[in-house]
Amino acid sequence: MKLLLVSTNQFREPLGPVLPLALEFLAETAARAGHQVKAIDLCFQKDSELFELVGDFVPDVVGISMRNTYDGSTMSNFLPRVHDLITAMRARGYRNIIMGGNGFSTMARQCFEYFQPDFAVVGEGEFPLLDILNGLQSGATSFDTPGLIYRRDGKVVENPLIELGPKRPYRDLSEIPPLSRTFVDSMAYQRAGGMANIQTKRGCPMQCSYCVTPNTQGRKVRVFEPSRIADEFEQLGRQGVKHLYITDAEFNLPPQAALELCEELIRRKNTIGWSCDVRPVNNALPNELIEAMAKAGCLEVNMTVDTGNDTVARLNHLSQTRQGVIDATLSFKKFGIYIMHGYVVGLPGQGPDELRETLELVDACKPNFTFFYVDPWIYPRTPLEAMAIKEGKLKPDWNPLELTYYRSEHADTLLKMLKRYALRHSPSEMSVLAPGNAPPFGAFLSQKVEENGYFGPMNKLIHQVTTKHRLASYAMFTRFQLGRLKDAMLGAPERKP
């Protein structure tokens, strides 16, 4: 069958665009199965150019990947734009429209009702896509694919997403064909200040209160063979890629799999620098692994810490301790890896005392850069949703398509504490992302990254931009949504000596 795949993401703040890796996986899987595939990435195109890009290709099936529904800091709503795209496709006579993607999957039933596609895939899309293509080709009107939503005889059928049985949705990753990395222009992302990316595993064993990854990828971690990932590194290197971002939920979980990949990259004398996310779970960041990461080309890690208070960590299902964070941070520094900490301000159980402990932890660790995310976004089917409903902050019949944050009763006090803390630090050391915070600072960063041709580890990009343009430390506090709009401040202009 003739399959048109479209990645809709065009968001490029604050540090360049994100390559749609799902487009590579879906296109490769369908093409290897004998289907004729045309893949279109709209990141660098206008929506009005879509049909010009399609040309004389007449698809039997259209797959639309939606990475995000909103951006939490800019409060950008991507839903109406994608709805308009689908309306335009229908007007052109396109049928058999399938929707999926991480953003779509987090609130699939609501998105299905809003966009009115013919099919929707919850979770991983490679094999459900093949089921749909093969079914349509054979004239099927009924599908038993787990996690599939579709219409039959005018009614919506929603197959349960289960992890058991012969057609389990979370398949062994060896069943997914190796990627040729030819369907998306990786170098375009590098030139635009973003970066190419790669996935070494799927799934996450954690159940952090705010996170949807266990819902979209499963809690069982499945790993691609190290040799396959090393081949992909080499393929991207031949294309000219200089830096990669590893998209795993947490690169170091499980630590043995991460170590084996690092050893394979070392054996092949890898020259591509890379970044990843890590979680300081007890005993999951041994010195042996961190040293191997450095030797394998790791230049930067984003350590998901969330809180410096052990009680708040336990309440929000974060399997770490304060001392473990300190030890891991010191180890990354020892081996020369640039380290960023990420914290969430306003988690359940966090008051002024708990935030004070968190800020003291940052001072004790002195990471190269620190992100503070204010007011966590509530997703369906997460522990945070259940907490918010139990506390009366959220109605049981709430609409996930409306951007909703968990608002602590201490929110104003926590923000004042955070602002006082930020004023004592350079913007090359820390940033705050909060509802409504990114414009104009996020747009400014994105503009400067592209203008100056920066690329590489994203936190080093922040350091380059903020240092070169001498932004005031309060530049990170732009337009907080706290009942009233705070003044937008872009920071001090560069002064000539």
The answer to which of 13-17, 187-191, 356-360 has the lowest mean pLDDT is 13-17
Write the DSSP symbol of residue 457: -
**What local confidence, expressed as pLDDT, does residue 474 receive?**
34
Residue 172's alpha-carbon distances to 126, 146, 169, 380, in angstroms, are 12, 15, 10, 26
Angle (deg, nearest 10), helices 441-452 and 458-468: 90
Q: Does the pLDDT at position 366 exceed 50?
A: yes
Q: 13 or 497: which carries more pLDDT confidence?
A: 13
Indicate the pTM of the whole model: 0.87
**What local confidence, expressed as pLDDT, does residue 320 receive?**
86
Q: Alpha-carbon distance 237 to 220, whole Å?
A: 31
Strand partners, 157: 150
The answer to which of 22-26, 138-142, 293-297 has the lowest mean pLDDT is 138-142
User: Strand, helix or coil at 97?
Assistant: strand
Q: Does the pLDDT at position 348 exceed 60?
A: yes
497 pLDDT band, cuts 50/70/90, is: very low
CA-based torsion, 162, 166, 167, 168: positive or negative: positive
Tell me the mean pLDDT in the region 90-114: 95
Pairing mode of beta strands 70-71, 201-202: unpaired
Q: What is the pLDDT of residues 377-393, one digit of tens each?
A: 999 999 999 999 999 99
**What local confidence, expressed as pLDDT, does residue 480 receive?**
32
Tell me the mean pLDDT in the region 109-124: 95
Q: What is the pLDDT of residues 216-242, one digit of tens each?
A: 898 899 999 999 999 999 999 999 999
The answer to which of 57-66, 267-276, 474-483 has the lowest mean pLDDT is 474-483
Q: Alpha-carbon distance 475 to 492, whole Å?
A: 9
Pairing mode of beta strands 338-345, 369-374: parallel
**What local confidence, expressed as pLDDT, does residue 457 receive?**
59
Tell me the mean pLDDT in the region 283-300: 96
**What local confidence, expressed as pLDDT, does residue 425 receive?**
75
The answer to which of 193-197, 290-294, 380-384 has the lowest mean pLDDT is 193-197
The helix (H) or strand (E) run that includes residue 471 is none
Angle (deg, nearest 10), helices 255-267 and 287-295: 30
Contacts with 220 (C-beta within 8 Å, 6 or more apart), sequence order: 163, 170, 203, 205
Tell me the mean pLDDT in the region 333-356: 95
Round to the nearest angstrom and report the end-to-end CA distance of the chain: 65
**What local confidence, expressed as pLDDT, does residue 115 receive?**
97
Share of the chain above pLDDT 70, in %: 82
Helix-then-strand count for the chain, H and E: 18, 18
Q: What is the pLDDT of residues 429-476, one digit of tens each?
A: 766 666 544 444 445 455 555 555 545 555 555 555 555 544 433 333
Structural domains in the chain, sorted by start: 2-158 (3.40.50.280), 189-476 (3.20.20.70)
Q: Alpha-carbon distance 344 to 66, whole Å?
A: 25
Contacts with 158 (C-beta within 8 Å, 6 or more apart), sequence order: 109, 149
Q: Alpha-carbon distance 489 to 497, whole Å?
A: 23
User: Strand, helix or coil at 305?
Assistant: strand
CA-based torsion, 468, 460, 187, 102: positive or negative: negative
**What local confidence, expressed as pLDDT, does residue 484 receive?**
25
167 pLDDT band, cuts 50/70/90, is: low
Are 414 and 408 in contact by the 8 Å Cβ rule? The answer is: yes
Q: Does the pLDDT at position 492 exceed 50?
A: no
